[in-house]
Amino acid sequence: MVGKILAGWRYDISGLAPEMRGDYELHFAGCEHCSKRQKLHRIIDISLIVLASASAAVFLLAFAVIRHFGPRHAFWLEVGALAGFALSALIWLIVAVATPAPMAVVDVAMLGARHVHDRLPAEIREKLPEEIRVKLTGS
């Protein structure tokens, strides 16, 4: 039953309150199928954001090249390049809002920060502000 609920949510529990996540996290820990599907969905979400970002960068590059060389009908080429950029930015925004990809990226960044924090010498760790230490260590 939990697996069916998760499938309907695209295996995303990031929006749930921490006290409600327990059963779902236990299910992910025990169900290899659901944990693989969750990873696949996160890979797809992040790939869509990366692809939309790359597309926007290419359209901006095209606009800059058109401005630099100034070919005939440059105005319409510039309009096309800017329209492509706007569409790519809109797709990026839709994917970022509709999927948990930004939260997944934040979670990965926090894991990396914890890893770096754990490797710091004790005297440097003690110099970090208390609020940062609490965020990184959770205590």
Assign 3-class secondary structure to 82-111.
HHHHHHHHHHHHHHHHHCCHHHHHHHHHHH
59 and 119 housed in the same domain:
no
Q: Following CA atoms 60, 63, 68, 69 in sequence, which dihedral angle do they give, to the nearest 10 degrees?
A: 140
Residue 114 has which token pair? 């914890």
Residue numbers of the domain that contains 113: 101-139
Is 63 found in the same domain as 26? Answer: yes
Residue 53: the pLDDT is 94
Contact 42, 104 (CB under 8 A): yes
Residue at token pair 């914890």: 114
Grouped pLDDT means (10 residues each) for the chain, 139 residues: 61 68 76 82 87 96 93 91 96 85 72 83 84 74
User: What is the 3-state composition of the chain as percent helix, strand, coil, each rounded to the nearest 5?
Assistant: 85, 0, 15
Q: Are residues 75 and 133 in the same domain?
A: no
Domain count, the chain: 2
One domain, residues 88 and 78: yes
What is the pLDDT, as a whole number, of residue 66?
94
What's the pLDDT at 7?
60
